[in-house]
A and B are shown apart, each in its own frame.
Chain A
Amino acid sequence: MNKLQKVLRKRSKKLLNIYLTAGYPNIDNTLDILYALNEQEVDLVELGIPFSDPLADGLTIQQSSEMALKNGMSVERLFAILKMADSDRLPPLIAMGYLNQMIQFGEEQFIKDAKDSHIDGLIIPDLPMDIYQRDYQDLFRKYDMGISFLITPETSNKRIQSALELSNNFLYVVSSSATTGGKGGFSLSTMDYLKAVQRIETEIPKLVGFGIHDKTTFEAAVKYCDGAIVGSAFIRMLQKSNDYHKDIATFVEKIRT
């Protein structure tokens, strides 16, 4: 069992997954931010591999990706940085990228290098489940790489079952019909949706993403699910921060207590 799986098995805990765009705000501090998040005992970190055309992402993550690319971040560079990391100081890691990046790098090489870079799971939002099964599942198994598929309020029961069968880390529950970066509170229909998700029976934890930006939305999510992913709000905090260590500690504390 890898580091990520150990964390995910602790179902009693309200899992906090922080999203960070790799290479934002600088290339040099990606590792420092990861170490700092680990010190705050964040349960896992989703590293976004910056992409020129991030369809599913709202403005905040788009802009952070653009900045990261300007900084010179790339798939190759990210793997090189992570391979040099002190693995004891890294939090459990997953990576989020778009299929084009994986294809261009070479799919098998991508999965192998990700694994060597302490990444135990991938989220590829534009990889359809049937294509994964047909073309990639064997490769993921070969390198013991996990994967999480997304469900949304529009996802049919049949597809939810497929997503559960294929996801081996956690199920990614998209809170509402929107791109990432929502700032408001949860609507009644979102709450109803999360309640419905709670009733889905599965062995793997359910993590809620999109629109989780403060303690209120985090608490609402973990009331019905096993954890939540905070992305754009974390990026917005980094944007303004002059002292990452201090501000990351405050940010995590504010969400958790």
Chain B
Amino acid sequence: MSYNVDDKGFYGQFGGAFVPEMLYANIEEIRVNYRELLKEKNFLSQFNALLKDYVGRPSPLYFAKRLSQKYQTKIYLKREDLLHTGAHKINNTIGQILLAKRLNKTRIIAETGAGQHGVATATVCALMDMKCIVYMGEKDTIRQALNVGRMRMLGAEVIPVTSGSRTLKDATNEAIRDWISNPKDTHYIIGSAVGPHPYPDMVAQFQSVISKEIKTQLLQQTGSENPDYVIACVGGGSNAAGAFYHFLEDKNVGLILVEAAGKGVETDYSAATSVLGSIGIIHGSKTLLMQTSDGQIIEPYSISAGLDYPGIGPMHAHLITSGRAEVFACTDQEAIKAAINLTRLEGIIPALETAHAFAMLEKRKFDSGDTVVLNVSGRGDKDINTYLNNIQYE
């Protein structure tokens, strides 16, 4: 069994491009171009140069000694939080802005939940002198106000979305509608490994630099390029896709996904798609999603705006249903506790999204000899208010 995308755009039974005809030409233009572009020397050297000199890659792989002691195993942190703009999201936006340039687009649209992808998009648009419009659920503009300010300072127009549940799912709908209305001059930079083919694969490939570096760095530090486990949080799934990419076919490497349980999977306030979801279509992709028996998409809940998505990338749906990946769900409170724990042990304040991945360490025992790589997808600056409101110091 292969865990990567097939030539029709499917991961097992998941994926595809279930889009209205109004979007077909837009997506087809990308589909016929992206694979060749990703092999082109000129493109790759431009991409890699920007990742190195502008983004700050490679990001460190750091052996977390005190965290390892606590959990009686060897934990390495992949520090995507140290990248320019503070999260892994920029790897993908650099790649897609170069693609957009190549396709002669002049206008960029994006959706954002936590605002990290919006900031990463606004950043590359400033860098490349492109017009930038970011759709963001009205609710998220409030809980991630700092990122709204950053986007505006970078010159992006932030449009608060008031339709539906006013969060990430609706921001994505609005961005898609914008693209339907502006098919010729606009490129849509999707930030997660979701959406119609080829987006999940394209985003995964732009993010795959994460696992590529892990291999090199682990080899240098431990003498072996493969860890026993890779852990990543998952909303749509871009950081997990990147952290897993070069380990997908190597079954000796355990893959662990951590979803947001919100207030608990048994409550009505959760975003644990693998537990609560069923097969359906969301944003042009066949995948697991949270829905009613009538096929209406349910608004998920998580304290973390970046994990607050009712679906999951088709790659991850396939990894989970085929048993290739283990999946855990951690609650808001578990994530906050894990964030404090990490901060006090290692002096690293993680993004709320990433904090869920750390919370998983409480739920599963690793052997003392295991090498465990945890992808620190983002830093916690944007979440300080949420942390302060939820932390009671002893």
Contacts and interface: CB of A to CB of B under 8 A. Distances in A.
Nearest to B26: A154
B180 A131 contact: no
Given A155-B25, A174-B22, A100 B177 contact: no
A43 interface: no
B20 A150 contact: yes
Interface stretch (B290-298, B330-338, B353-361, B365-373): B290-298
B183 to A, nearest CB: 5
Contacts of B280: 100, 103-104
B176 interface: yes
A55 B182 contact: no
Given A75-B294, A104-B293, A105-B295, A56 B20 contact: yes
B19 interface: yes
B18 A155 contact: no
B56 interface: no
B24 interface: yes
B173 interface: yes
Nearest to B184: A177
A174 B21 contact: yes
Contacts, number: 105
A170 interface: no
A55 B281 contact: no
Interface size class of A (residues with CB under 8 A): 35 or more
A174 B184 CA distance: 16
Contacts of A58: 177
B181 A178 contact: yes
Interface residues of B, number: 34
A109 to B, nearest CB: 12
A184 interface: no
Contacts of B281: 98-100, 103, 126
B38 interface: no
B16 interface: yes
A58 B293 CA distance: 25
Contacts of A51: 295-296
Interface string A159-189: 1000100000000001001110000000000
A100 B282 contact: yes
Nearest to A99: B281
Given A53-B169, A53-B282, A154 B181 contact: no
A232 to B, nearest CB: 14
Nearest to A174: B22
Contact of A55 (B17, B24, B177, B183): B177
Nearest to B22: A152
B321 interface: no
Contact of B181 (A53, A99, A156, A177): A177
Residue in B24, B283, B294 with the greatest tally of chain A CB atoms within 10 Å = B294
Given A55-B20, A55-B173, A56-B20, A100 B180 contact: no
B24 A155 contact: yes
Given A104-B293, A125-B21, 14 more contacts: A52-B164, A52-B296, A75-B295, A100-B280, A103-B281, A126-B18, A126-B20, A131-B16, A131-B18, A149-B21, A151-B21, A154-B22, A155-B21, A177-B181
The 3 closest A-B pairs by CB, nearest first: A104-B295, A154-B25, A101-B295
7 contacts: A51-B295, A56-B20, A102-B295, A104-B291, A131-B16, A177-B181, A179-B181
